[in-house]
């Protein structure tokens, strides 16, 4: 599902909200998640999952084109951990 499809689905479900208003809501949610993660925080949505940061250590890698060794610095990467309710829904047999 794309962001525009999500906006359309939400606009259909909620009477009285235009697509433009729904787009503002969706954008606000995504911006809030990005802002929280960029500040080192986490976002917990019960029944859905958690967005957190994971630290990756520095390591040696190889440039596949040249074969040269390259130093990759440490960094933080976003990580999503699925919630129990969503995991059970996805794994439920139909």
Q: Three-state secondary structure along 18-37? A: CHHHHHHHHHHHHHHHHHHH
- Total structural domains in the chain? 2
Tell me if 78 is assigned to some domain.
Answer: yes
Query: What was the pLDDT predicted at 94?
Result: 59
Is 61 found in the same domain as 28?
no
Render pLDDT for 56-90 as a digit per residue (tens, 0 to 9): 999 999 999 999 999 999 999 999 999 999 999 99
What CATH number should be reported for the domain holding residue 83?
Answer: 4.10.520.10
- The domain in which residue 90 lies consists of 52-94
Count of other CB atoms within 10 angstroms of residue 17: 15
Q: Which residue has the tokens 């208003």?
A: 21
Is 30 found in the same domain as 8?
yes
Q: Which two tokens stand for residue 65?
A: 């084109």
Render pLDDT for 20-54 as a digit per residue (tens, 0 to 9): 999 999 999 999 999 999 999 999 999 899 999 99
Tell me if 32 is assigned to some domain.
Answer: yes
Tell me if 45 is assigned to some domain.
Answer: no
């Amino acid at each position: 599902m794309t962001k525009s499809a999500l906006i359309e689905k939400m606009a259909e479900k909620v009477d009285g909200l235009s697509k433009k208003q729904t787009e503002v809501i969706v954008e606000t949610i995504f911006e809030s998640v990005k802002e929280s993660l960029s500040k080192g925080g986490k976002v917990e949505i019960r029944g859905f999952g958690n967005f957190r940061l994971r630290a990756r250590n520095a390591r040696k890698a190889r440039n596949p084109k040249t074969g040269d060794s390259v130093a990759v610095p440490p960094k933080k990467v976003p990580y999503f951990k699925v919630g129990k309710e969503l995991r059970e829904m996805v794994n439920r047999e139909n």
